[in-house]
Homo-oligomer: A and B are copies of this chain.
């Protein structure tokens, strides 16, 4: 268990469930769209549809924030936008640094959604001296050497890592040492951070693999295809090198080990 880290006793506080927090931005986006169309009120049913969730879940989510609706009527759009924004901390300005200005970092720097809701790209940082001073999305790239100073001067508490995997941990360590307490990690690696620092990750490759899993299931679905008895199959015992394996197997491989043998 590596670090002590005895998990939290779950301070039963007045905390909002994590799953709810993860959906608030979704609601906010839907509400913002309604607001722009000057829609004054919305029912849980309508809003849920716009956000792609079901209405009971939405009502339950909102109930953690307080009683912001009006029975028989619905929710006041402007009012909810404000309450959710406040709950998410979007009524304040969040300076963000992006470290690693490759293709992805550059794309992130130029991403509109970034600037929109209270987030401001305070600096772009890259280790390549050739990049230093070069403007990307209108912001001049600064060198990694100045990372600590940049963080401190700008009061940055949120960092985005878009570096190659190999240097992500050390970049992370420096960010944390300099005072960053929230990290959005695009590098395909596990970051370890001290308690009190939040890390969220976005990994393309993982998302695709999850899709592939389901895709594969779909293809093999119609055919019940009994793995049939008799097989106990697969070296239930000693695994052996499967590296090269005869490949071959590509098809609807009917023998998902699945489920408990015994």
Interface residues, chain A, with chain B CB atoms under 8 Å away: 1-2, 5, 8, 11, 13-16, 18, 21-22, 24-26, 28-30, 40, 49-52, 54, 63-70, 75-76, 78-83, 86-92, 94, 96, 102-104, 106-108, 110-111, 113-114, 116-119, 157-158, 181-185, 188, 190-193, 195-196, 198-216, 218, 227-228, 231, 233-243, 245-261
User: Are A1 and B54 in contact, CB atoms less than 8 angstroms apart?
Assistant: yes
Candidates B182, B218, B245; contact of A82 at CB < 8 Å = B245
In angstroms, how far is the closest chain B Cβ from the Cβ of A89?
Answer: 3
Task: Tell me, in angstroms, the Cα distance from A257 to B194 when the chains sit together.
Answer: 10
User: Given contacts A29-B188, A242-B83, is CB(A258)–CB(B13) below 8 Å?
Assistant: yes
User: Are B193 and A257 in contact, CB atoms less than 8 angstroms apart?
Assistant: yes
Closest to A92 in B: B250
User: Are A208 and B119 in contact, CB atoms less than 8 angstroms apart?
Assistant: yes
Contacts of A260 in B (CB 8 A): 13, 18, 22, 63, 200
Contacts of A76 in B (CB 8 A): 235, 237-241
Closest to A206 in B: B25
User: Are B1 and A52 in contact, CB atoms less than 8 angstroms apart?
Assistant: yes
In angstroms, how far is the closest chain B Cβ from the Cβ of A99?
Answer: 15
User: Are B188 and A208 in contact, CB atoms less than 8 angstroms apart?
Assistant: no
Candidates B2, B5, B25, B104; contact of A111 at CB < 8 Å = B104
In angstroms, how far is the closest chain B Cβ from the Cβ of A159?
Answer: 10
Beyond the given pairs A22-B210, A119-B208, A190-B258, 7 more chain A to chain B contacts, judged by CB atoms under 8 angstroms and listed by A's residue number, are A11-B253, A65-B257, A66-B242, A78-B233, A78-B242, A88-B213, A91-B247
User: Are B205 and A253 in contact, CB atoms less than 8 angstroms apart?
Assistant: no
User: Are A66 and B106 in contact, CB atoms less than 8 angstroms apart?
Assistant: no
Closest to A191 in B: B257
In angstroms, how far is the closest chain B Cβ from the Cβ of A13?
Answer: 4
Task: Tell me, in angstroms, the Cα distance from A197 to B11 when the chains sit together.
Answer: 39
Task: Tell me, in angstroms, the Cα distance from A195 to B211 when the chains sit together.
Answer: 15
Task: Tell me, in angstroms, the Cα distance from A237 to B79 when the chains sit together.
Answer: 9
Task: Tell me, in angstroms, the Cα distance from A95 to B193 when the chains sit together.
Answer: 36
Candidates B2, B201, B215; contact of A94 at CB < 8 Å = B215
Task: Tell me, in angstroms, the Cα distance from A256 to B88 when the chains sit together.
Answer: 11
Contacts of A218 in B (CB 8 A): 181, 196
Task: Tell me, in angstroms, the Cα distance from A90 to B228 when the chains sit together.
Answer: 13
Closest to A209 in B: B25
In angstroms, how far is the closest chain B Cβ from the Cβ of A194?
Answer: 9
